[in-house]
Amino acid sequence: MMSSDLSSSHDAWASTPPKVTRPNPCCEPPNLLGECMFLGFVAILGITCVLLCKLILWLFHVEIDFGQPAWLQWLQRPEKQDVNTWLNGQKSIINFSFAGVSKPQDTLHLRAAANENIALAFNITNSLTTASTSTHKNFLKMASGTINRPGRDWIKLFEKATSTLTAELPRDTSQPLHLAEATRITCLKVVLIDNFQISSDSLPRDSLVIITDEINNQWLKAKSSSEKPVISSLLIHHLTALQRRDPRCLCWPFDQLKPEEILSMIMPQYETLWRVVMVTYILAFHLYPSPTLPSRISSVPECLGTNSLEEREALKLAKEGLRLTPSNKRIYRHTPSSSFKIKADLELMHRHPSIWGPTALEFSPSRFDNLSPLQTEAYLPYSLRPHRCPAFGGFGDRMVTCLVVAMGRVLDTKAGKVFNTEPTKRAGVVDTGRDGLEGWRYQRG
């Protein structure tokens, strides 16, 4: 019975196969809770990893820099190396030996690639932005010609600077002077007069303000933007307007140059000058006033260009300013085989306590009375061969001294004082970054 029952039931199974309910992934209702939990887990894991990395970077004092991988910066940390080893590493970046190249076509390429955004933002072609050896050679020749022009009238340049600064002082003596703006206008005016022999009447204040503001904006875009910067039409417009005002300048066909060519020429000068001039003025005259300052600068501007003892003493003002505020805080190079930039930290080389001692952050021109061999090696405001600045031999120091002393004479410490409306984050050091200088004011009375 049982067996017949079983067999009949087996037959029944055989003829009509049972409905097997297998899980069907397409029709299965999604397990939302499970997926949400999984995604949540992945998100938490990701956030934990990021926080962990940040903690490690913070612990090891690694400062992330645009384009340079953190592991490389980690390897380059000065505090973990013998200072000589670190210094040699920095110098090898500056002189390109890190990449094992020395031919101009290679060194220029590594520098031009690192300066690409600056070239795009200003549409400029000069030694610092080109990879072409002939363009580099021609530009360098022109720059050296400007620097070494015989019979430069330093007294006239000094007077142009003092008259510009005097005109900048607000008529209402209760109103403070915007120091960064006044310094920018003065530096640009002096560079234009020196390069192109333009009369100062052809350089209206409004145009100079717009040009200097636009240069600043473009520079910030070039340094911070992830997109490729484009030239500012406002900047080009105002440069062209300047050219139309003075079609007959004496020594240079200023009116025949394209605005971009003017920018190519003045950028390595104006941009290297204004911040160091302003910070050196604040440090020398207000924050670290020394009893020896008046005698150090008493012969300026007459001593400039004389190679005299008086001049050497006066130029120490610029040397110390360029130590604490090198015009190029970092010198960037592209690496030959990959797509990132590598940097030498000139600012740190100039401030490292193992090199400059406990007074490293103080402004003291007399330290240049007697630099130690290590300090001499670490002091590179004009870079190193093969691409050392042509203003290295004295012109750069003279220009800085001329402009700083002009500021000190017009914006006198006895007649007024400076203050910062945007106090810096780092106590004891002037924030020498582009933005950090905007809050400084000079107030008479």
Q: Which residues bind ligand HEM (CB under 6 A)?
A: 94, 111, 127-128, 139-140, 143, 146-147, 268-269, 272-273, 322, 327-328, 331, 381-383, 387, 389-391, 395-396, 400
Q: What are the Cα distances from residue 128, in Å, to 109, 268, 388? A: 10, 8, 11
Position 283: which residue type? L
Nearer to ligand HEM, 80 or 103 (CB): 103
The full DSSP string for 316-383 is HHHHHHHHHS-SSSEEEEE-SSSS-EEEEEHHHHHH-HHHH-TTTTS--GGGGGS--HHHHHH--TT-
Query: Of 162 and 269, which has the nearer Cβ to ligand HEM?
Result: 269
Q: How far is the CB of 143 from ligand HEM (least distance, A)?
A: 4
Minimum CB–partner distance for residue 379 and ligand HEM (Å): 12
Nearer to ligand HEM, 169 or 400 (CB): 400
- Closest separation in Å from C-beta 383 to ligand HEM: 3
**Nearer Cβ to ligand HEM (125/218):** 125
Residue 203 or 318 having the CB closest to ligand HEM: 318
Find the shortest distance in angstroms from Cβ 37 to ligand HEM. 54
- Cα gap 205→242, rounded to integer Å: 11
- Which stretches of 169-227 are assigned E, i.e. beta strand? 177-178
In this complex, which beta carbon is closest to ligand HEM, that of residue 68 or of residue 272?
A: 272
Taking the complex as a whole, the smallest distance from the CB of residue 236 to ligand HEM amounts, in Å, to: 22
Residue 261 in tokens: 């060519």
Sign of CA dihedral 270, 271, 273, 275: positive
| DSSP state letters, 122-161 | HT--STTT---HHHHHHHHHHHHHHHT-TT--HHHHHHHH
- The minimum distance between CB 81 and ligand HEM, in angstroms, equals 22
Comparing CB distances to ligand HEM, the nearer of 187 and 430 is 187
Report the alpha-carbon distance of residue 112 to residue 129 in Å, rounded: 4
Tell me which residue has its CB nearest to ligand HEM: 389
We find the least distance from the C-beta atom of residue 73 to ligand HEM, in angstroms, to be 20
Nearest CB to ligand HEM, comparing residues 390 and 416: 390
Question: Whole-number minimum distance, CB 416 to ligand HEM, in Å?
Answer: 26
Q: Give the three-class secondary structure for 441.
A: strand
Task: Give CA torsion, residues 366, 368, 373, 378, to 10 deg.
Answer: 110
Query: In whole angstroms, how close is the CB of 144 to ligand HEM at the nearest point?
Result: 8
Q: Toward ligand HEM, which CB reaches closer, 169 or 275? A: 275
CA distance 269 to 402: 14
In the complex with ligand HEM, which residue's Cβ is closer, 259 or 268? 268
Q: Least CB distance from residue 330 to ligand HEM, whole Å?
A: 10
Q: Using DSSP, state whether 430 is helix, strand or coil.
A: coil
Q: Which is nearer to ligand HEM, 259 or 390 (CB)?
A: 390
- Alpha-carbon 301 to chain mean position: 29
What is the SS3 assignment for 418?
A: strand
What minimum distance in Å lies between the beta carbon of 74 and ligand HEM?
A: 24
Contacts 24+ apart (CB under 8 A), 316-319: 316/365, 316/366, 316/368, 316/369, 317/280, 317/284, 317/365, 317/400, 317/401, 317/404, 317/405, 318/276, 318/280, 318/396, 318/397, 318/398, 318/400, 318/401, 318/404, 319/365, 319/368, 319/397
Nearest 10 degrees: Cα torsion 351, 355, 360, 363 = -90
